[in-house]
Amino acid sequence: MGRTIRTAAGLIGAGLAPAAARPELERVAAEFAVSVTEAVADLIDPADPADPIARQFVPSAAELEVAPEELSDPIGDAPFTPVKGIVHRYRDRVLLKAANVCPVYCRFCFRREMVGPDSEGLSPDELDAALAYVAGRPEVWEVILTGGDPMVLSPRRLADIVGRLNAIPHVGVVRIHTRVPVVAPDLVTDAMVAAIRGARAPTWVMLHSNHWREMTDEARAACARLVDAGIPMLAQTVLLRGVNDDVETLTRTFRALVSARVKPHYLHQGDLARGTGHFRTSLAEGRALVKALRGDVSGLCQPTYVLDIPGGHGKVPAGPDHFAEHPDGGWTVEDPRGRAHRYRG
């Protein structure tokens, strides 16, 4: 994975932050974990104060500004945690927090207060209990490995978890949520690919990528190693002010993903995590952006825009509505050009 920067001094030494910013960087680092991999650092243009990659990974004093509506657990993991490491919010699927660390720490992360080098991972006994919970719930069809980033685990440990999940008859699919192919692509080795392939239940990989510049040749090659091994890939993107909150950037990002054989699946409205207000767009802005993509951009490049309702109430589509009931019956339908049409079905 090469060198990883984890301190204010390291950021300054790498030219990613000015020396004068050291006090504020240290205050932020004391609150929220910092990690910038070599692959990410190489993408940052230190001469550009608005660099969209730096904005995602280099700490900012704005993170210490907490709005009243912001929460330490913005999507409500805690109320749906029956045993350590499991979140069971939806009937047919659970999250299994297989790791509590990440190769990088996104400055907008909704779990930023639960992950990091000082967080407590699962012990062998706790992992056994988490897997026993899944085994004892026949309604659970999908298990989503998350964290943290499960692909920071060794191939041996991942193979053990995936193998044990495959041994549970009612588990139909394993999904892995990860940033690794874009932020540490060298971790996607042949051994890693072999480890996550299920012997029975297929493994899907959900890549987190927010900007087309993240899809480097190395990232594309990492994705290719997964897809060529028969592992389907989806992508989730967070709508971020100053990173991708315009039609051109979103279009280039989704096209870059599709070109790498990764299907854009979700575009997330920014969660109400503490200290992340400077990243959030309004729902109205997000809906307008998604509406502008419709029609002129390939359907392959159209993720579902979603809001994760604070408090653990689940994800809902947040995209624009193109239908209105007509007073004489039927519907008025708005096309991608904004023109209205009558539909009587």
Catalytic residue among 73, 105, 109, 305: 109
Report, in this order, helix, strand and coil percent for the chain, each rounded to 5: 35, 20, 45
Cis previous bond, 148, omega within 30:
yes
315 tagged catalytic: yes
- Which is catalytic among the residues 51, 73, 149, 308? 308
Active site residue 252: no
Let me know if 156 is a catalytic residue.
no
Catalytic one of 51, 73, 245, 271: 271
For 274, phi then psi, to 5°, come to -60, 135
Q: Out of 102, 105, 149, 220, which one is annotated catalytic?
A: 102
Nearest to 166 by CA among 132, 192, 203, 194: 203
The answer to whether residue 308 is catalytic is: yes
The residue annotated as part of the active site, out of 105, 106, 137, 175, is 106
Catalytic hit among 51, 55, 73, 89: 89
Structure-token match 């300054």, residue found: 12
Q: Which of 55, 97, 107, 111 is catalytic?
A: 111
Judge whether 96 and 330 are in contact, CB under 8 Å.
no
Identified catalytic residue from 6, 27, 90, 287? 90
Would you call 29 helix, strand, or coil by DSSP?
helix
Note if 111 is an active site residue.
yes
> Is 102 marked active-site?
yes
| Phi, psi for 147 (deg, rounded to 5) | 170, -120
Catalytic residue selected from 93, 112, 179, 280: 93
Q: Which residues pair with 27 in a beta bridge?
A: none
Q: Is 89 a catalytic residue?
A: yes
Return the closest-CA partner of residue 243 out of 54, 44, 42, 11. 54
- Residue 301 is among the residues annotated as catalytic for this protein: no
Catalytic positions are: 89-90, 93, 102, 106, 109, 111, 271, 308, 315
